[in-house]
Structure 1
Amino acid sequence: MFLAEVCLLTNDVLRMAEFYKAVLNTTSDSDDEIHQVIPISGTGTTLTIYNDGKEKNNSNQNMCISFTVEDVDIEYERLKRLGVNIIEPPITRPWGARNMHFCDPDGNHIYFRSFSK
C-alpha cells in the first residue's frame, strides 16, 4: 500500500494550483478551474486541487503536508524569491530533520524538510 493522492479542497483552484506548481517546482497538463492534478516527481503520488462547489472557510487547523527535499536551505532561498510567506525558516530539529514552515494561499500548513546524510 502507498499514499496515492492528497486532495486539497479550495474556492480557487487556479490560484492554489499555480502556487503549488511554483513551490514544488513542477508543471502539469491541468489548467482546469475545478480540478487539477499535480504529479509529485518520482513518488507516484499526486496533489489534487479541487473545488467541490461548496464554499470553504479556509480555517484549516488539523492537518499539514510535508515534503522531503534534497536541501531545505536551498529551497528556502528559492521560496523567498517566489514571495512565499515563510512562517519559520529552516531549523534543525532534535530528531535530525531540518525543516521550514510556510502556508499556502488557503492557510494549509506546509513543511519542507531534509535530512543530513
Structure 2
Amino acid sequence: MKFASIRMPTSDVLRLVGFWEKLTGVAAQWTNEEFAEIVLPGATVAISSSRLTDAFAAGSVEPSSNRTVMLELMVDDVDAERDRVTGSGVAVLMEPTTLPWGNRSMLISDPDGNVVNLFSPVTPDAIARFGSR
C-alpha cells in the first residue's frame, strides 16, 4: 500500500487551490474546473468541488467541517515560513514552538479551516527520524 493523496472537497475550489499554491509554491495541475492537484514529494493534495463528490457519494463529505485531520508539511525553516505566510492573512493557530519530540512547529488553517502543521526537525533525534529536508 502506498499513501498517494489527501482530497479536500470544498465549496470554493479556486479559493482553496489558490491558498495551497501560495503555501507550497507549487502550481496546481487541473483535471477540470472542479478538480485540481498540488503534487508534492511524498503525496498529493487533491482539491475537488463538493458537488463533484456528491455526484458519486452524496452526503459523504461536508466541506469546512474537518476537526480531526491535520496536514503536515516539513519545511526548511518554520520561522521563515511564519514570516512568509502570515503577511497574506493566514490564520496562525499556534506560533512556532519547539515540541518535546524535537520538531519546531507552527499550526495554521487554510480557508476551509483545515489545520496545517508546518514543521522542521531541529533536535538530533528528530533529524535522525526525518532526515534533513
Q: TM-score, normalised by structure 1?
A: 0.88
Higher helix share: 2
Q: Which amino acid aligns with 2:46?
A: T
What does residue 49 of structure 1 align with? 47
What does residue 3 of structure 1 align with? 3
Counterpart check, 1:86 vs 2:84: no
Q: Is the contact made by 2:50 and 2:63 (CA closer than 8 Å) also made in structure 1?
A: no
What does residue 103 of structure 2 align with? 97
How far does residue 59 in structure 1 lie from its aligned partner after superposition?
1.8
Report the aligned-residue RMSD: 1.8
How far does residue 9 in structure 1 lie from its aligned partner after superposition?
0.9
What does residue 33 of structure 1 align with? 33
Q: Is the contact made by 2:30 and 2:37 (CA closer than 8 Å) also made in structure 1?
A: yes
Q: Deviations for 1:55-108, whole angstroms, at most 9, x for unmatched residues?
A: 835221111101111111111110012221111110000110110001111111
In 2, the alpha carbon distance for the partners of 1:32 and 1:97 equals: 37
Counterpart check, 1:108 vs 2:114: yes
Which of 69, 76, 94 lines up with 1:63 in the alignment? Answer: 69
Name which one, 1 or 2, has greater alpha-carbon Rg: 2
In 1, the alpha carbon distance for the partners of 2:31 and 2:79 equals: 30
Q: TM-score, normalised by structure 2?
A: 0.78
In 2, the alpha carbon distance for the partners of 1:48 and 1:57 equals: 14
Question: Which consecutive unaligned segments of at least 5 residues does structure 2 have?
Answer: 128-133
In 2, the alpha carbon distance for the partners of 1:64 and 1:98 equals: 16
Question: Which consecutive unaligned segments of at least 5 residues does structure 1 have?
Answer: none
Identity of aligned pairs, percent? 31
Please identify runs of 4+ aligned residues in structure 1 that moved more than 4 A: none
